[in-house]
Amino acid sequence: MKNNRGLAVFLGNLGKDNPVFVQILGICSTLAVTNSVRNTFVMCLGLIFTTALSGTTVSLLRFYIPQRIRMIVTVLIIAVYVIIVDIVLKAWYHEIARELGPYVGLIITNCIVMGRAEAFALQNNPLLSMLDGFSSGMGYTWVLLIIAVIREFFGAGTVWNIKIFDAWTNWTIMIMAPGAFFVLALFIWIVKSFFIREKL
């Protein structure tokens, strides 16, 4: 029974309850970091770490957090993990940290993290909350990686900084802001029309 529930949560977050293209959460970072696959990957690792552990912590403390100040407590818990990610990145991957700029700190206000803590972790046990946080992060990750591959490939002719074609005319628009909006819109459209038609 419990295993089934966990599996349902896990698959739901990857597919039909996906945070990015179904709930339209965490869009800011989705668009901002996806112009290079490597940065996206690092950002996603940070987010998975944050959602999984903040979900667990919130769930562990759920009987001790007073109802009226729960938002601020949740934000503080999330902030602790985000700061850990920030410090680790700055210490070991300085170049990536500089390219990601303020977006690492902005994981705090990423609606996915807050939303999962608020909607799921406050009602469920720690193990399930961790699974939920982890799978939300994974759901976010696979969407971002696809968008990042498309944008980097067309925008720079590379994937993970490796050249695919020698002679490639860069579609500069793809690595700039409008390209991000278009790719995301097309992605949501494709997913919507193929996989979740019954929800429309």
Partner 1 sequence: MNYILILISAVLVNNFVMARFLGLCPFIGVSTKYSSSLGMGLAVIFVMTMSGSATWFLDRFILIPLNLGFLKTIVFILVIATLVQLVEMIIKKSAPLLYDALGIYLPLISTNCAVLGVTLINIDAGYSLLENIVHSAGGGIGFTLALIILSTIRERLEYAPIPECFKGAPIAFISAGLVSLAFLGFSGLPVK
* Interface ranges with partner 1 (CB under 8 A): 21, 24-29, 31-32, 71-72, 75-76, 79-80, 82-83, 86-87, 101-102, 105-106, 108-111, 114, 173, 176-182, 184-186, 188-189, 192-193, 200
Q: Structure tokens of 55?
A: 């979900």
- The least CB distance from residue 125 to partner 1, in Å, is 26
Nearer to partner 1, 26 or 128 (CB): 26
Please name the residue ranges forming H helices in the chain: 2-14, 27-33, 37-60, 70-92, 94-100, 111-116, 126-156, 172-175, 177-194
Q: Give CB contacts under 8 A, 24+ apart, made by 73-77.
A: 74/114, 74/117, 74/118, 75/108, 75/114, 77/117
Closest to partner 1 by CB, 160 vs 189, is: 189
Q: With the CA atoms of 15, 19, 24 and 25 taken in that order, what torsion angle do they form, in degrees rounded to the nearest 10?
A: -170
Asked if 34 and 153 touch (Cβ cutoff 8 Å), the reply is: no
| Min CB(108)–partner 1 separation in Å | 6
Minimal distance in Å, beta carbon 109 to partner 1? 4
Q: How far is the CB of 157 from partner 1 (least distance, A)?
A: 21
Nearer Cβ to partner 1 (164/177)? 177
Nearer to partner 1 among residue 9 and residue 108 (C-beta) = 108
CA gap 135, 138 in Å, rounded: 5
| In the complex, minimum distance from the CB of residue 17 to partner 1, in angstroms, rounded to a whole number | 15
> Which of residues 6 and 83 has its CB atom nearest to partner 1 in the complex?
83
Q: How far apart are CA 16 and CA 199, in angstroms?
A: 9
In angstroms, the CA 141 to CA 40 distance is 8
**Shortest separation between residue 188's beta carbon and partner 1, angstroms:** 5
Residues 6+ apart with CB under 8 A from 24: none
Closer by beta carbon to partner 1, 8 or else 177: 177
